[in-house]
Structure 1
Amino acid sequence: MANWVPFVSLSLISIILLVIIVVKNRHMSARILLFWLFISGLAYVFEYIIFVLFNSYTYHPHILSNNYNDSVLGSISSQAFSVPIAITYIVVYHLRATRIALIVGLFFLIETWFTYSSLYEHHWWQSYYTSFFLIIAVILSKAWWKLFENDPNHYVLFITLFFALSTVSLSCAWILSSLLELYIIPLHHFSNPTRDLIAGNAVYIWFTTYLYTLVIFFRYKDKQYALLTILFLLTIEVFMIQEGVLLLKKPIMMMVLPLFHFSVIIIGGYCYNHHFPNYVEITRKGLHSG
């Protein structure tokens, strides 16, 4: 069996499960999707620390020719789909401890099989670490879901939006930077050039995502703030190019990041504000309630 088959199969099964959850809970479908992206965003932070910075393990889906990008793709299949969707299923259906234990045990068995089948390679990581952190993730996710489900305040919504947006922006930026190499932001810390540019790019994209979130949540209807944010980021990027921090494949690629910022703010803002209140609406609601 080809290495890519288990990775693709698990991702497809997870996506099908998410579709079923959303279809059966249409009254809160947007909330479920945002929560899934939120959990994925948190998983990306965790993965950045242990996988990118500290080289915990390597995935071997054998889909991409570049070994490190191939490993990152395997990571995405786990941290964007399998784990977050399983956690979303747990919290939406309020599963009891016994069923949660079965799901955690299933992940342990899958990881063990992946390891023995050379689909996945531990460096210093252990399978029981995964089980431990899954349990912690479920506990924290259940608590956050309660806050998010029942008339959440602006802090909960802002944080949820930030991590949800970061899932999308980091994934797209990985394609633009690491796969297509339209631009790169090397960290100059790791010997592996792909690992190094992924590490550097992620830091910058988290920064830009924070600004996206500020605009979408606090000033979405004021278009000048979106424009000012893009111009501000463009100014930073011009400076980064001059200092050799941001490298472009061709000069015309200077427009890639501004277009990327524009797309995330417009599309992300439309999707969020179509289903959830922004800060102004929450404030008005509070005043009316008072």
Structure 2
Amino acid sequence: MKSRLNKYPFLIVGFIHLVMLIYTFYKSSDKKKHLVLLLNFVGFAYIFDYIIVVFLNGYKYKPCFLKQNYLDNIFGAVLSQFFYVPVTALFITVMKFGWISKILFSLYFVLIERLFVNLRIYKNKWRRTHYTFSLILVSFYFNDKWAEQIVKRNLIILFVSVFSFLH
């Protein structure tokens, strides 16, 4: 019975981020540019997650959407890296939030992680929660700087963005 309930926290967080995404695009002055940024953020998050989850086995998700444990773990990682984190990064970038907001959103992800650990639907292996805070905070800063370079039409950044977008 409990395993069937595992998916609900993932769905609730997903709903929060869906609302955040809709609001972000509603407020966006350049929806096409922001869609490209979102997909770019997704590509970078996937590269990170590929290394941490697949190669280094840093943590495990247990959303219980799929019957096979390995695929279910990957699906949980996809939800996080395809949706939760990139949508938040885009929200921060589009709204032009500063450092305090970046710190608060990083803490938000730490709280989600701790809640998921307590619910036993997420398990850290060698990876620790303070890595979540630090790496997400750095990624928010990086994403803002990347967005600035896209606006400036930096050819290297545009090329890497296309690669990331396709990835």
Q: Give the TM-score range, shorter chain.
A: over 0.9
**Following the alignment from structure 1 to structure 2, what is the Cα–Cα distance between the partners of residues 37 and 12?**
19
- Quote the offset at 1:165 in angstroms: 1.6
Pair 1:114 & 2:103 matched = no
- Quote the offset at 1:12 in angstroms: 2.4
**Following the alignment from structure 2 to structure 1, what is the Cα–Cα distance between the partners of residues 6 and 165?**
29
One-letter amino acid of the structure 1 residue matched with residue 90 of structure 2? T
Counterpart among 12, 22, 31 of residue 33 in structure 2: 31
How does the TM-score come out when normalised to structure 2? 0.93
Q: Percent identity?
A: 29
Q: Deviations over 1:108-162 (max 9, x none)?
A: 1110010111010111111110111011111211111111123x13322221121
Please state whether the residue corresponding to 2:60 is helix, strand or coil: strand
**Following the alignment from structure 1 to structure 2, what is the Cα–Cα distance between the partners of residues 129 and 156?**
26
Structure-to-structure mapping, 1:1-290, within 5 angstroms? 2-25=5-28, 27-150=29-152, 152-166=153-167
One-letter amino acid of the structure 1 residue matched with residue 105 of structure 2? I
**Following the alignment from structure 1 to structure 2, what is the Cα–Cα distance between the partners of residues 63 and 162?**
30
Please state whether the residue corresponding to 2:97 is helix, strand or coil: coil
**Following the alignment from structure 1 to structure 2, what is the Cα–Cα distance between the partners of residues 92 and 23?**
11
**Following the alignment from structure 1 to structure 2, what is the Cα–Cα distance between the partners of residues 146 and 104?**
21
**Following the alignment from structure 1 to structure 2, what is the Cα–Cα distance between the partners of residues 135 and 153?**
24
- Quote the offset at 1:40 in angstroms: 0.8
Q: Rg: which structure is higher?
A: 1
Q: Which runs of 5+ in 2 are unaligned?
A: none
Two-structure CA RMSD over aligned residues (Å): 1.2
One-letter amino acid of the structure 2 residue matched with residue 164 of structure 1? F
**Following the alignment from structure 2 to structure 1, what is the Cα–Cα distance between the partners of residues 131 and 14?**
22
Structure with higher RCO (Cα < 8 A, 6+ apart): 2
Please state whether the residue corresponding to 1:125 is helix, strand or coil: coil
**Following the alignment from structure 2 to structure 1, what is the Cα–Cα distance between the partners of residues 26 and 151?**
18
**Following the alignment from structure 1 to structure 2, what is the Cα–Cα distance between the partners of residues 124 and 109?**
18
Task: Report how many aligned residue pairs link the two structures.
Answer: 164
Q: Which consecutive aligned stretches of 4+ in structure 1 deviate over 4 angstroms post-superposition? A: none
**Following the alignment from structure 1 to structure 2, what is the Cα–Cα distance between the partners of residues 161 and 11?**
26
